[in-house]
A and B are shown apart, each in its own frame.
Chain A
Amino acid sequence: MTAVKYSARNQFALWFGCYALLILACMWTLIASGDASWGRSPWQNLLKTMNEFSSPSFIDVWFGPTRLEYRSDDGALLRVENRQVLEVAFLQALARATWTTFQIATLGTFLASILALPLGLLAARNLPAPRLVAFLARTILNICRSIHTLIFGLILVGIVGLGSMAGILAIALHCTGTFGKLYAESIETLDMGAIHAVRATGATPAQVFFSAVLPAVMPQFVSSHLYIWEFNIRDSTILGLIGAGGLGLLISEAVSLFQWDRLATILIWVVILVTTFDTLSRRIRQALL
């Protein structure tokens, strides 16, 4: 008994040693390439950034100047802005972008969940799909899963053009892989005994499906749907960066115009949005299982 423990501990020490070596190798190459630097004046930059982020733009809705005058160097009035009105308009744009993001995530997830259904069924190891077909299905799922949503997005923007559609398709393609794998796994953990028992009563295949298969897999399917949906809400906030619409578009706008106060507003909103959806989906999933 002690011999077994000892060797298991040795094995762990060996793995741990390998991991430590790997960390050291990464650090060494980072230092050797001269990238291990904090920049020229990190503290100053940090303070500057924090200062810019500390006054998110939405405050201006209530406290912003109603008459902000822009003047040229010789004092001539160039233009007058009502900051309050402008920020209200920005918040309206934010609301529209939020809906676009939500729509991309929701439709993308829905499309993926349907595309993955046949592939998941074919890939499940306990169902009698021909070996070659099962192998193909698993390969397709792996390819989908290994290509990131953003990369699919970049490709699709080139095909279907800028806008929500590219985002929806990108999410659908990437998540088909994730869905298919989760589907196949929940089918593989089915209680075949219960299925045989229902079949033994003389039930038709449809009855077996609705009475024994569906009740067993449905909660898992719904749970994985919610999980991936939640994941996609997070993912689709950056899809706009590559031109697929939604909150990411506002982010890239704010970044390229150096409007850090607006970026702060957007980020606070994204955190609220994602946290809310996380909590909701976790609650529902816990109630299901």
Chain B
Amino acid sequence: MSIEISQVTVLSGARCLLTVDQLSIGAGQRVAVIGPNGAGKSTLLKVLTGMMPTHSGTVRILDSTFGANAPQKLSAAQWRHLRARVGQVMQGLHLVGRLSAQDNIILGALARRDVMSRWRSWSRIYPTPLRTQADVLLRQFGLSPQRDSRADQLSGGERQKIALARLAMQAPQIILADEPMSALDPTATQLACQFLNQLAQSATMLNVLHDVSLIPLVADRVLGLSQGRIILDCATDALTPEDLQRLYGSDAPERQTI
């Protein structure tokens, strides 16, 4: 198992943001997390990255265990080791505005000691192989002309593509993506889905999705959250319109067949 959560609760004041009794995700699975606004999807991802502290329970990711009831706290170095293997695409993307598109992609490889020495990462004099790799990724997304543009001068879609390229650069074992396709046009969405699937061949992947038509493209398993609880957990093939209706209420989106 690459992700295991047990008895986790997250509180915000008196409000319960997330309650998960048991959830395991096996290595190599592709999971879509869906649900209405405020259901706790982003909270679930933040719990998995350790960004959101839990009030009870344990989270086990790869070989690290943390959470309120974990036997011991992770040290800073252990956290870094874990984060290096967990690739994230956060809501809001968060590129470093003053660095070029290419530099932002290379930032994904900061923790990869095999390809990036310490002084190079400090001075931002990156090795040629990494630059070449970043150029390949830029070309893949059709962003070669923007290679040296500053990230804060890119459009929303371009920034999203850079965030995905940075994810690839990190070569993570687990991918946690919060609406990775939200700012992309249909063509770019197809491209991004293929890209994510390619990465998922050597990783476990969790995508928070709002567009349910994308589920079959990037997931074999669906988790439905509502009011902080997992009320739906099934294979993508077994997902029915009734499930979506139960999840989203009366005006559920139509699930398209592709």
Contacts and interface: CB of A to CB of B under 8 A. Distances in A.
A193 B92 contact: yes
B94 A196 contact: yes
Contacts of B49: 200
Give the interface size class of chain A: 20 to 34
Interface in A220-274: none
Interface in B87-101: 87-88, 90, 92-99
B80 A203 contact: yes
Interface string A182-217: 000000000101101111111110110011100110
Contacts of A212: 96
A277 B69 CA distance: 62
B110 A211 contact: yes
Given A207-B122, A211-B121, A194 B111 contact: no
**Size class of B's contact patch?**
20 to 34
Nearest to B150: A215
Nearest to B82: A202
Contacts of A204: 80, 111
B94 A191 contact: yes
B110 A203 contact: yes
Interface centre among B82, B88, B93, B98 (most CB of A within 10 A): B98
Given A198-B110, A200-B49, A202-B81, A191 B124 contact: no
B96 A199 contact: no
Interface in B206-225: none
B12 interface: no
Contacts of B83: 199-202
A219 interface: yes
A198 to B, nearest CB: 6
A201 B94 contact: no
A191 B97 contact: yes
A256 B17 CA distance: 77
B31 interface: no
Contacts of B258: none
Nearest to B79: A202
Contacts of B166: 201
A194 B96 contact: yes
A201 B121 contact: no
Contact of B96 (A202, A206, A216): A216
B50 to A, nearest CB: 10
B187 interface: no
A194 B150 CA distance: 14
B98 A201 contact: no
A271 to B, nearest CB: 36
B44 to A, nearest CB: 16
Contact of A201 (B95, B111, B123): B111
B184 interface: no
Contacts of B3: none
A211 B96 contact: yes
B96 A201 contact: no
Nearest to B92: A193
B51 A196 contact: yes
Contacts of A197: 88, 90, 93-96
Interface string B108-125: 111100000010011110
A202 B122 CA distance: 14
A197 B170 CA distance: 12
Contacts of A194: 94-97
Contacts of B121: 203, 207, 210-211
Interface string B155-188: 0000000000010001000000000000000000
* A197, A199, A219, most chain B CB atoms within 10 A: A197
A57 B118 CA distance: 61
B84 interface: yes
Given A196-B90, A210-B123, A211-B121, A202 B111 contact: yes
A201 B168 CA distance: 11
Contacts of B93: 197
Contacts of A198: 96, 107, 110
A219 B96 CA distance: 14
Given A197-B96, A201-B107, 19 more contacts: A191-B96, A194-B94, A194-B97, A196-B90, A197-B88, A197-B93, A198-B110, A200-B51, A200-B90, A201-B83, A201-B111, A201-B166, A202-B170, A204-B111, A207-B110, A211-B124, A215-B96, A216-B98, A219-B98
Interface of B: 49, 51, 80-88, 90, 92-99, 107-111, 118, 121-124, 166, 170
Interface of A: 191, 193-194, 196-204, 206-207, 210-212, 215-216, 219
Q: List 5 tightest A-B contacts by C-beta distance, closest first.
A: A202-B84, A202-B111, A193-B94, A197-B94, A202-B83
17 contacts: A193-B94, A194-B94, A196-B94, A201-B83, A201-B107, A202-B85, A203-B107, A203-B110, A204-B80, A207-B110, A210-B121, A210-B124, A211-B96, A211-B99, A211-B121, A215-B98, A216-B98
